[in-house]
Amino acid sequence: MDQKIHEDKEFLAGLLVGGILGASVAIALSTEEGREIRKKLKIKGKQLLKELPDMADEIQEKAQDAKDTLIEEAMEAVSPAIRDLQTRGRFIVRKFFSTKKK
């Protein structure tokens, strides 16, 4: 029984919120103020579309910088290990060829 009352309250709350939103949209679309808001939104949308290529270039530039930094930091981190492996490899090659001559 309590569940049914709870569901009814949720339904009525949803109906009320939907009605308020619907009325707000209707007023915004039909009043002079609503027309002004739509006009401003349209202008702002056009401005954003014009700015979009610059924004995309900026994002691409930042991504490239981040990638370059990441690669540089990774190389700095692994360089000691690479040098160590090169040294060990040379040692093994020398040892192999020196024992082969005997």
Kindly state whether residue 3 falls inside one of the protein's structural domains.
Answer: no
Task: Name the residue type at position 42.
Answer: K
Q: Which residue has the tokens 């024992």?
A: 99
Convert the pLDDT of each residue in 38-87 to its tens digit: 788 889 989 988 999 999 999 999 999 999 999 999 999 999 999 999 99
Confidence of residue 102 (pLDDT cuts 50, 70, 90): low
Kindly state whether residue 55 falls inside one of the protein's structural domains.
Answer: yes
Q: Please state whether the predicted TM-score (pTM) of the whole model is above 0.75.
A: no
Average per-residue pLDDT in the chain? 85
**Sign of dihedral through CA atoms 28, 30, 33, 34?**
positive
DSSP 93: H
Residue 88, pLDDT above cutoff 90: yes
Q: How many structural domains is the chain composed of?
A: 1
Cα–Cα distance, 54 to 58 (Å, whole number): 6
Kindly state whether residue 89 falls inside one of the protein's structural domains.
Answer: no
Which range of residues forms the domain containing residue 49? 31-72
DSSP string, 64-86: HHHHHHHHHHHHHHHHHHHHHHH
- The more confident residue out of 30 and 80 is 80
Kindly state whether residue 61 falls inside one of the protein's structural domains.
Answer: yes
Kindly state whether residue 98 falls inside one of the protein's structural domains.
Answer: no
Counts for the chain of helices (H) and strands (E), in that order: 2, 0
Kindly state whether residue 47 falls inside one of the protein's structural domains.
Answer: yes
